[in-house]
Amino acid sequence: MNRILCIGNRLWAEDSAGPAVFDALSARALPGVELVDGGVAGLGLLRWFEGCDLVVLVDGVEGFGQPGEVVLLPGEAVAAISGGVPDHGAGLPYLLAMAPRVCVRPARAVLVGIEGAATTASVGSAAALALSLAMEVCHAAV
């Protein structure tokens, strides 16, 4: 099984990319894929890195592309941004840096990011990419 873990705050427009993708995917059939609304749980999200092969994180990003662009980043690259420094305010990079340190068998992680404000088009593209990644790995394991 693989997971799509959507992160963000649906009450704050600048941080609503993950929840918007969650809403877009929640109406679809997702065989072999677990969809999770991670909200703003921070390190509480570490439990979702156990018991699966791949976690596709979906979140808003800044500084990785043009506004509205959907980017794909390896989890290791995002974790490296934290510099390995324990900083609970470091957000997603810190979460990804901690996963291999605290999980027994952490899942591989990739980030589907929406640069800037989420639009209907960027949410649709991010949802399609996240689902494609999760399904591709799921079917490859069969």
Domain count, the chain: 1
pLDDT band at 142 (very low <50, low <70, confident <90, very high): very low
- Across all residues in the chain, what is the average pLDDT? 90
Q: Take residue 81 and report the two structure tokens written for it.
A: 């941004």
Which stretches does DSSP call E strand in the chain?
Answer: 2-7, 33-39, 54-61, 70-74, 108-115
Question: Percent helix, strand and coil across the chain, each rounded to 5?
Answer: 40, 25, 35
> Considering only CA atoms, which of 99, 86, 129 is closest in space to residue 111?
129
d(CA 66, CA 141): 34
pLDDT band at 136 (very low <50, low <70, confident <90, very high): confident
d(CA 2, CA 65): 26
Q: Domain of 48: which CATH number?
A: 3.40.50.1450
d(CA 94, CA 115): 19
**Per-residue pLDDT tens for 61-112?**
999 999 999 999 999 999 988 766 665 556 899 999 999 999 999 999 999 9
Instruction: Identify the domain containing residue 108 by its residue range.
Output: 2-140
35 close to 137: Cβ distance less than 8 angstroms = no
